Amino acid sequence: MPDIKSKLTNNNLRNLTNAIICLEDSIADSELILAEHNVIHELRLIDQGFEKGVISEHELPLLFLRIRNVEQLQKLAEQLGSTIGLFTGIVFPKCTTSNAENFLACLQDINRYYSTYLYALPILETKEIIYTELREQELTSLYKLFKEYEDTILTIRVGATDFTSLFGLRRPGNRTVYDIKLVSDCLTAVLNQFTRQEDNFIVSGPVYDYFSSQNHAITTDDLNGFEAVLWNEVQLDIDNGFFGKTCIHPSQIDIVNAAYIVPKEIYDDARLIVGNKDETNGVLRSSARNKMNEVKPHYNWALKILTQAEIYGVLKENVTSLDFLQHIKNVQLTRRLKINN
């Protein structure tokens, strides 16, 4: 993509908050050098835009770079120099105990040398994670290592596409990742290891690699539609403890973001639990009078909900996240019609 700068600026993707520039599996080996030069060129154009005042910080999403290995990261850091500070973090694919420590140490060296602070986003997607006989030891070892770098690790990602590849599988577009039992079993183990309340790790949901370019209405009954499957998958991500999801097409952004907006009733329950913790640790009846809120077992959940609400917002009463998503799509359709006319 020779026009990264223009793609990420000028409000071309209005609701995009962060973007990963990939130099790994999305780039053919034969085109890698060209892609590296292109990334350096585009980053320098963005840097020049900042210096000239034609690009503002609010206009550009947070940028992340997905590299292939430590050697490539070192090479690109040398070529970019201080411009590497335009990135918020580095995505490290196929992360295992055999390469993770070198990557994290290299990242810390770069941060010190260039007086910046790049976060680490390791991706768990190899046989050491999904093969059952290797999984427990690998996750335990990675957990111990990640605890040493806990402040540096922004989020842990999981690679469902690489997982299925190890078994010669590819999930169909009308199935969520949770329907692929080999993968969902592995995702459960990753969540079990890294989302415990005593830790501060965030694990983001796996990519759904289908998308629709059609701007049609999304309905929960349209179970064969890619947007509806993605919608259902994000709900399952949230229910199981994932936070966030990588999008591979602009049409996915609003679907994922809308799913994380907190419903008013859920927000009220969380506020009730947290607000009354000092007065009682017993049972509180929900304002909707339809569930039991127990302060002690629900307190940690309530804290997460309030944090999620601070980031994504709260829906109005009697408005669902699906209603909100449909509203966004209607606004976008109206805007396009005005431009075309």
Give the 3-state secondary structure of 99-117. CHHHHHHHHHHHHHHCCCC
Per-residue pLDDT, 177: 96
Per-residue pLDDT, 232: 94
C-beta separation of 36 from 44 below 8 A: no
Q: Crossing angle for the helix pair 226-240 and 250-259, nearest 10 degrees?
A: 40
Place of tokens 């629709």: 212
From the number of C-beta atoms within 10 Å of its C-beta (0-12, 13-18, 19+), residue 301 rates as middle
The pTM is what?
0.91
Per-residue pLDDT, 341: 67
User: Which residues are CB-contacts of 286 (< 8 A; sequence separation ≥ 6)?
Assistant: 265, 268, 269, 272, 292, 293
From the number of C-beta atoms within 10 Å of its C-beta (0-12, 13-18, 19+), residue 122 rates as buried
Per-residue pLDDT, 112: 96
Report the candidate in 207, 209, 213, 211 with the shortest Cα–Cα distance to residue 187.
207
Looking from the CA of 223 toward its CB, the CA atoms found within 13 Å total: 3
Query: Vertex 219, ends 213 and 224: CA angle to 5°?
Result: 65
Report the candidate in 250, 256, 236 with the shortest Cα–Cα distance to residue 311.
256
C-alpha 238, offset from chain centre: 12
Please report, in tens digits, the pLDDT of each residue of the chain (341 residues total). 888 998 888 777 878 899 999 999 999 999 999 999 999 999 999 999 999 988 887 888 999 999 999 999 999 999 999 999 999 999 999 999 999 999 999 999 999 999 999 999 999 999 999 999 999 999 999 999 999 999 999 999 999 999 999 999 999 999 999 999 999 999 999 999 999 999 999 999 999 999 876 555 555 454 348 999 999 999 999 999 999 999 999 889 999 999 999 999 999 999 999 998 888 778 888 888 888 889 999 999 999 999 999 999 999 999 999 899 888 888 877 777 776 76
C-beta separation of 308 from 260 below 8 A: yes
Neighbours of 248 (CB within 10 A): 15
Give the whole-angstrom CA distance, residue 66 versus residue 52.
28
Place of tokens 């790790």: 201
C-beta separation of 43 from 86 below 8 A: yes
Give the whole-angstrom CA distance, residue 281 versus residue 264.
23
Alpha helices in 114-249 (DSSP H): 127-130, 132-148, 160-165, 181-194, 226-240
Report the candidate in 218, 164, 209, 153 with the shortest Cα–Cα distance to residue 186.
164
Give the whole-angstrom CA distance, residue 272 versus residue 34.
56
Pairing of β 203-204 and β 87-92: unpaired
